[in-house]
Every structure is written in C-alpha cells, then in structure tokens.
Structure 1
Amino acid sequence: MAYAKTGSVRRMLQQLPAALEKNVLRGAARAAANVVADEARQRCISNEVRDSIKVTGSSKDGNIIAKVQTKGEGAFIAPWLEYGTRPHFISVSDANRGGRSIKRLNKEVREGSLVIGGQFVGPTVHHPGARPHPFMRPALDTKEGEAVAAAQSYITTRLASVGPFAAAAPEPGE
C-alpha cells in the first residue's frame, strides 16, 4: 500500500509544474496586474480611458503573461494622455471634401469638417499639443512591491489549501 501512495505522490509531483503554470501562476500574475490596473484607474484623468483599462492574461511557451492595457472605447486616447501630443495641424482631407468648400461641407454634412464648440473654424486648425498625464507607468512604478506581494499571497493561499502543501493539522493536545 505504501508503494501505491508513493506512486501517486510521484505522479502528482510530476504534474505539479503544469498545474502550477495553468492555475496558480496565471492567477498570481493576474492578481499582481490587478493591483497595477487599480492604481492606473485611480491616476487616470479621463473617464473614457479609465473605463478601458483591462487586465488580460495568457501562457505561451512556458511564459506567464499578464497585461494591463487599454481596450475598447476610449483606448485610442490612452497614448495621447500618457505621453501628451506635440503641436500639430488638423485639416479636412480633400478626399473627404468631395470638391466642396469647408463652409459648404460644414453646413451639409456636419462630419469631417472642423467645428469646435459649435463654431466653424476653417479647413485647418493648429492644435497647440497636449500636456502628458501619465497614469500607466507611474502605477507600475508605485505599486510594483504591492503587486509582487499580491502575487505571493495568491500563490501561498492556493498552495496552502492543496496536497502536500496544506498545513498539517495540529496533533490533539498541542
């Protein structure tokens, strides 16, 4: 009987790395990423971008990957918010005008022409650029230690509840 138990423990230990990768380590990576994502949401000045901050996870070639990224509506604004923009010109493309003047296009279509605050501004406008409001990188920089602790806690909790890692029950009278 002892051999059967030893064999099953040996099999369990051989399967442990795959089980750890699939279940425990991926969960730990997501736990760490959630800490960073929460901080990024707190730091973000745009509701649209804040709502687009997501955590994703995957496993490929033995590597566990957890990402904090922007996805969906508002995600396209995130790089401009994080890094700012340089001064630049914005204009209505000739292809979008269809030979019409900007003024006529503005009256007819109301799309593709330059209207700011309900006012026609012409075929071209100079955008002064936008100051950066970083939220992703500072979130990682300030919460790195807490993220590692969250991953560690996740691993400890999961392993403490199963198999040979479970805490030994105290002997009666101890």
Structure 2
Amino acid sequence: MASARGRSEVKRYIASLPGQIETKLLRGAARAAANVIRDEAQAECIDEEVAAALKVRTKVQPGLITARIKIDRRMPGSSRALWIEYGTDPHLISVSDQDRGGMSVGRINQLNKEGSLVIGGHFVGPVVEHPGAKAHPFLRTALDRKEVDAIAAAQSYINARVSRGSITGAAEPEGEE
C-alpha cells in the first residue's frame, strides 16, 4: 500500500494562502493601482495645495480589500477640492450672523469696515453676488484616463511577488501614502 508523508504540512500551507494573498499581495496591488490614479489626479489638479492633499489609503476587511484616494483634511487647501472638482453655482456672500455680534450689517459698516466684506482692499458692501466657478474635474477623470495603467500596475505588483511555491514580500501596512 502506498503511503504519503507531509499531508499536514501541505494542508497547513494551503490554509495559509488566503491570508498571505490578502496581506502580502492584494493590498499592495490595490495600493499600486491607486497610486497611478492619484499621480494622474495630482497632475491634472489646478491647485497645488489640493494636489498635495491627495492621499492613498488602503483597508483590508475579511474578503474585501479597498484602496481609496482621499483628500487629507488636515492639509492646507483641502477644502477647495470639492469646489474645484464640481464647480460652484452662483451664490451670495455676506457677513455671517455669528460675526455680526447681534448688530446689523449697516451698524457694522458704521463702526468699522473690519466686519464688512472687503475684496482687494476695497469695501464692497454687506453682500456680494459670486458668479460661481467652473468645474475642473481631476479625480473622476483621472480614473477614466488611467484605468488600464492602474490595472497594469496592480498586475505588475502581483507578478513581481508571486513565484513558484511562495508569495514574497512583507505584509502591507495599513495607512496612508
């Protein structure tokens, strides 16, 4: 009768593969793909501060690996990202109620011009009509333009780390880049 040795080691190795694939392979591949998209978005962004605020974040949940390109809200200029991406509608700008201290805009203007709207060093009154801003999409279009390159980057990452009989590399740390 034939005998086999090493069955338990083979079973243990096969059981460890999904975890290794998740931590060593797919998370890094997702990050590599997202970096391609982020780089394109940074190149297309019309605001350098917003471009610098673009970060890649990866997350692993059982059976789900995600990579997101997000705006780091701690960075200067990050609040302008949505305005640049989607534009703004025409709107009115006025002195906010909390800055008025219970006074009317007219009373603020009589006391000093500090609480009034000043643009370019000139007093412009209590309310200004902003014409809106044209959208300059950079995030959505970056994905459309670089989808194939991102997939190629993920495939290249995987190919570099899978060899006959093993998955090389350390587990990807969670976090931003």
The alpha-carbon deviation at position 11 of structure 1 amounts to: 1.1
Partner of 1:62: 63
Which residue does the alignment assign to 2:149?
Answer: 146
Q: Distance in 2 between matches of 1:105 and 1:31?
A: 55
Q: Distance in 1 between matches of 2:12 and 2:122?
A: 73
Report which stretch shifted further, 96-105 or 42-51.
96-105
TM-score, with structure 2 as normaliser:
0.82
1:169 corresponds in structure 2 to: none
2:17 is equivalent to residue 10 of structure 1: no
**Could you say what the CA RMSD is over the residues aligned between the two structures, in angstroms?**
2.1
**Is residue 2:108 matched to residue 1:106?**
no
What runs of 5+ residues in structure 1 fail to find an aligned partner? 167-174
Partner SS state of residue 86, structure 1: coil
SS at match of 1:77: helix
Which one of the candidate residues 114, 117, 130 is aligned to 1:127? 130
Could you tell me whether the CA contact under 8 Å between 2:34 and 2:68 is conserved in 1?
A: yes
Shift of the 97–15 alpha-carbon distance from structure 1 to 2, 3 Å rule, reads same
- Percent identity between matched residues is 51
When residues 77 and 163 of structure 1 are mapped into structure 2, their CA distance, relative to the original with a 3 A threshold, is same
Q: Which has the larger share of strand?
A: 2
Assess, with a 3 A threshold, how the Cα gap between structure 1 residues 96 and 156 changes in structure 2: closer, same or farther. Answer: same
Amino acid at match of 2:49: E
Structure showing the higher helix proportion among its residues: 1
**1:134 alignment partner AA:** P
CA contact (8 A) 1:103 1:120 kept: no
**Residues 38 and 8 from structure 1, CA distance in 2 versus in 1: closer, same or farther, beyond 3 angstroms?**
same
Q: Letter of the aligned partner of 1:62 in structure 2?
A: G
Matched residue type, 2:155 = Q
CA distance in 1, matches of 2:69, 2:167: 31
Gaps of 5+ in 2: 169-177
Partner SS, residue 82 of structure 1? helix
**C-alpha offsets along residues 117-155 of structure 1, whole Å, 9 cap, x if unaligned?**
122211111000000001001100000000001111111
Match of 1:87 in 2: 90
Q: Give the TM-score taking structure 1 as reference length.
A: 0.84
The alignment partner of 2:160 has SS state of helix
Q: Secondary structure at the match of 1:141?
A: helix
